[in-house]
Structure formats: structure tokens, C-alpha cells
Structure 1
Amino acid sequence: MPVNVLVAALLLVAGARLGLTRSELGLCRDRIRAGLRLGGLVGLGAAGVLAVGAVLPVTRPLFDDARTAGIGFGLLAYRGLVRIPLGTALLEEVAFRGVLFAGWRRISSSMVAAFGSSVVFGLWHVRPAIDLLVENDVAADGWPRLAAVGGALAGTALAGLGFCWLRLRSGSLLAPFVAHAAINSLATVAAFIA
């Protein structure tokens, strides 16, 4: 996790050295409240959906995840409050909705930047999707696995578009960061409960 935080910091330094401004990166102080508010609202909505999904018999199996089997509350708290927000969401938001989005937006439109950075975000998640399928023994090799990975890529790219919308709407990188951290952390809690 410290490596991910360091990489996020280095990406911001690289973006600044390339001439990206605080505003372009979504790091203006006057947008902090807007970012926290919008990201928090999305996080609250996700909490409700995930809580219902984790307890309903029809959707509960969707939350089965071998990665949460047998972990205690201490490790769950560490993952949800530290590892996921700082080790995953921070790096990904700085990289994809911060530096990549801002750089792409500078040479094209916001829409092109959103689509481009979201496709790259989806591709970034191909390996984790494969690992998740293998660890949970979900899809056999061949077409079922390819379809599952393709679905994960498409779903993650769509999530990336949503995070770009949060970034644009709030003017702050905090909005997608808070939403991303909340969704991933709460999904881990939902898997633990299920």
C-alpha cells in the first residue's frame, strides 16, 4: 500500500511538471466541499444498495467472495478503512480521473477524455477480474471466462464514466475518490456479511 500512495504522489508531481494545473487535476481547495458532498451522497446510495443486496436471499450469492472467507473484524476494518481507500481508490482516482483525464482533456474534449480514461480504467482491471474468477472458481476456462472478463471490463469502464461524471460535476477529484473508496470498501463488507 505505501507504494501505491507513493505512485499516486509521483503521478501528481508528473502531472504538475507537464503543466497540469490544480484545477485541471481537480485539486482546488474551493471545490473540496462539493467533492465531499457529491462523493458522500453516492457512497450513501451505494451503502443502501449493497446492504439490501447482501441480505436478500436472491442476491446474496452474488456477494460470495473467497477473499473475505475467514477474515476477522480487524482485517476487515483495515481493508475497508485503510487498504481500499489509500491502496486502491487513491491511486486509481489520481491516475484515471486526475492525471490521465486532465491530460486527455487538455488535447481533446471532456467527453473524449472521459471515454478514453474509462476504457483504460477498464483494461487496468482485466487482471484483477481474472484473479477474482480463479479465486472464486466462478467461470471455467474458455468462453465463459472470456465473457466474464469482458463483462468486468465493460462494467468497470462504465463505473469509470460515472466517476468522470462525479469529477466534472463537482470540479473535485474528491468526489470520485470518496465514491470509489466507499463502493469498494462497502462491497467488501457486504461480501463479509454474505
Structure 2
Amino acid sequence: MLPRLNLGLRGRTAANAGFATGYALVFRGRPNWLSARGLGYGLASASMVAAGYGAAVAIPAVRDRLGTFDGRAPDVPFGEWVIVHIPIGTVYSEELIFRATLDPLLDNTFGPRSGSLIGAATFGLWHIHPARAAGDSVPASIAATAAGGLVFGLLRRRTESASAPALLHCAVNAGGALALHIVARLMPARSWSN
């Protein structure tokens, strides 16, 4: 439904965050954002991802391979996309919906093992439309995001907080965008629209 509204990125970010907040309120989501354990695990996980992206950009062969990927800067300034739309429109919204609300409901209904598999599969299926819109392989996108959902769910279960998966999720998404942006600046043949 949301793509049909033609809200633009700013409108979609606001709609996603509003829906996620309402969903969590209705279904009694428990994000526990300020958990020391969640923040600690999240910062450690995000640091590992950041180090991986840093190495990828620093190693010439890997950097050259990254240079073959298409950067997907949307119709807003790049900084706004990385600082606002990825953390709020994607990470906050998805972590509040999936890890803070849906995963606990599934765990209580089906048990942690089945709940984690159902939650991860649902997270993967959630990414069908974005994969189609980007022209990506739908099966590969579902598999990759479902695997990410398993890791994010494990972090939420271990810390009892959505902070850990949110920080890791943000590092993966924003870090990937930043890495491609840096590579594009280092390789003059590539250009970004913003």
C-alpha cells in the first residue's frame, strides 16, 4: 500500500516510523532501547561491521570489486539518507516491528526456536517489494534478509533489547551506503547523483 501513495522518501520515512510506533503500541512491543547490555552488544557488533567495511575500502582488490556495485542514493542528499532515512525509516521501523514486537509474540506462541525461524522468514519476505523495486534478485534478497533476521533476533533474545540488533542493522545498511559512497569518490569513473 505504501508505494502506491507516492509519498517520496521523506513521506515514506515518516509513514514507516509512524506505523511501526503504532504497531508496537497496539501489540505491546518491548524495545528496551536503553538496555546497557543491548547497547554494549550492539556497539560491539556494529564496530565489527564498520571494521569490515573499512578493510573492504582499504584493500585495493576489494575496493575495485565494490566499485562495480551500483550506489543507490535516493532523491535526497546523501547525508540525509544515511543520517535520517536509514536509521529512522528503515532500522527504527523494522527493529520496532520485528525484534521488539513480532519476535516476542512469536516466541510466546511457538517457542523461541520456531519463533525465531518464523520471524526471520517473515523479515525476509518483507523485503520482496524492495528487491523488485531495486531490480535485485528476489530469492537472494529474501535469503540474505532472513539470515540477517536470524542474527538480529539472536541479538534481541540474548540482550532482551532491540538496541543490539538496531545498532548492527544500522551499521550494515548505513555502513554499506557509506562504503560505496567512499569508493565512488575514490574511483572517478563512478558517480553518484547526490
TM-score by length of 2: 0.79
Cα RMSD over matched residues? 2.1
Counting matched residue pairs gives 169
Give distance in 2, aligned partners of 1:33 and 1:82. Answer: 24
Structure 1 residue runs of 4 or more that deviate by more than 4 Å after TM superposition: none
Question: Which amino acid in the other structure matches residue 51 of structure 2?
Answer: G
Q: Matches of residues 116-135 of structure 1 in structure 2 within 5 Å?
A: 116-133=118-135
- Corresponding residue for residue 26 of structure 2: 14
Structure 2 partner of 1:150: 139
Classify 1:128/1:55 alpha carbon distance in 2 versus 1 (closer, same or farther; 3 Å).
farther
2:171 is matched with which residue? 182
Question: What corresponds to 1:164 in structure 2?
Answer: 153
1:27·1:173 contact (CA, 8 Å) conserved in 2? Answer: yes
The equivalences for 1:1-194 within 5 A come to 1-16=13-28, 25-27=30-32, 32-60=35-63, 61-62=65-66, 64-68=69-73, 75-133=77-135, 148-194=137-183
Structure 2: gaps of 5 or more residues: 1-12, 184-194
Q: Deviations over 1:55-95 (max 9, x none)?
A: 434333346224239x9xx9222112111011100111111
Write 1 or 2 for the structure with the bigger share of helix.
1
Q: What is the rounded CA distance, in whole Å, between the counterparts of 2:33 and 2:99 in structure 1?
A: 14
Q: In 2, Cα distance between the equivalents of 1:170 and 1:130? A: 33
Give the conservation status (yes or no) of the 8 Å contact 1:36–1:175.
yes
Is this contact kept in 1: 2:71–2:177, CA < 8 A? no
CA distance in 2, matches of 1:158, 1:171: 19
The percentage of aligned residue pairs carrying the same residue is: 27
SS for the counterpart of 2:94 is helix
Question: Structure 1: where are the runs of 5+ without partners?
Answer: 135-147
Q: Structure 2: how far apart are the matches of 1:189 and 1:171?
A: 29
Q: Is the 8 A contact 2:100 2:161 kept in 1?
A: no
* Letter matched to residue 86 of structure 2: I
The question of whether the paired residues in 2 share the 8 Å contact of 1:97 and 1:167 is answered with yes
Letter in 2 for 1:58: A
Q: Per chain length, whose mean CA-contact separation is higher, i.e. which structure has more relative contact order (CA < 8 Å, sep 6+)?
A: 1
Flag the 1:77–1:149 CA change in 2: closer, same or farther, 3 A: same
User: Residue 163 of structure 1: CA displacement?
Assistant: 0.1
Do 1:93 and 1:177's aligned partners in 2 also have CA atoms closer than 8 Å? yes
TM-score, length-scaled by structure 1: 0.79
Alignment-mate amino acid for residue 36 of structure 1: L
1:163 aligns to what SS in structure 2? helix
Report how far residue 155 of structure 1 moved.
1.1
Per-residue deviation at 1:51? 1.9
